[in-house]
Amino acid sequence: MAPPADGPQSGEITGETPLDDPLPDFLDAKAKTIGETDSAGEEAQRSGNYVQALERVVPDWIEWMDSRGVTTLEALDSRHLARYAGHLARRVNARRANGDAEGITPATAWNYYSLVSAYLHYCQQWEYIAENPADTDRAKDEMPDRPTTDSGQQQFWSQQQRETIVSYVDERAHDAIDADPRSREALTAARDRALVYVLGFSGVRGAEVLAASRDDRRTG
């Protein structure tokens, strides 16, 4: 991964870095492909479900922080991320209480938080900040309970797990399709990629979509 074009020098933490300053480089690093910028100077189009989720969630988080007076990366600490986690938890509670249209599920809340944490991890990696304030017990303690299969709720993949497997199946499918789009290998790779996206982004349990319809042991 290439370093950001205008990032800080090694060991240097400046004090006035806008929250969105490293964002374009971060999104480029996470994109499968990047389209060329057109003559009108509009932003390049990035491909991939993961980067498209980042493009939605991280700017919303930046706007949320900005509205609360936090405008630079250096100003961030675990208390600010704890407040954001609390905001997500309240949206979960609103959905549970009355089906609020602005409410979200616990799985969605953790997905949003993981996307923000991924951005802050990138900022830490390139020394915009010394530590990732999202990766602290103080902040994560304010999140709703993490969904688990043991509780009968939807499964949850961590951001790192999801990113790793999605990148793998994307590359595998692209290679197979480029080699021969009508081959069995291409069809299998495309099928596997679709399955991974369903499992990774919907939270559905594997048993719910993988059971054979003619299996006498199937209960649903």
How many Å apart are CA 139 and CA 116, to the nearest integer? Answer: 12
Closest among 144, 147, 78, 159 to 114, alpha carbons compared:
159
What are the residues whose beta carbons fall under 8 Å from the beta carbon of 43, sequence distance 6 or more?
37
- Which of 21-25, 27-31, 184-188, 194-198 has the least mean pLDDT? 194-198
Q: Does the structure show a pLDDT above 90 at 59?
A: yes
Confidence band of 153 (pLDDT split at 50, 70, 90): very low
The predicted model gives 64-70 an average pLDDT of 97
Of residues 25 and 211, the one with the higher pLDDT is: 25
Global pTM reads: 0.63
Under CATH, which number does the domain 16-34+43-146 receive?
1.10.150.130
Closest among 116, 22, 28 to 65, alpha carbons compared:
116
The pLDDT assigned to 205 comes to 65
Q: Cβ(58)–Cβ(29) under 8 Å?
A: no
Closest among 103, 76, 71, 73 to 88, alpha carbons compared:
103
Of residues 58 and 191, the one with the higher pLDDT is: 58
Burial class (CB in 10 A: 0-12, 13-18, 19+), 98: exposed
The pLDDT assigned to 85 comes to 98
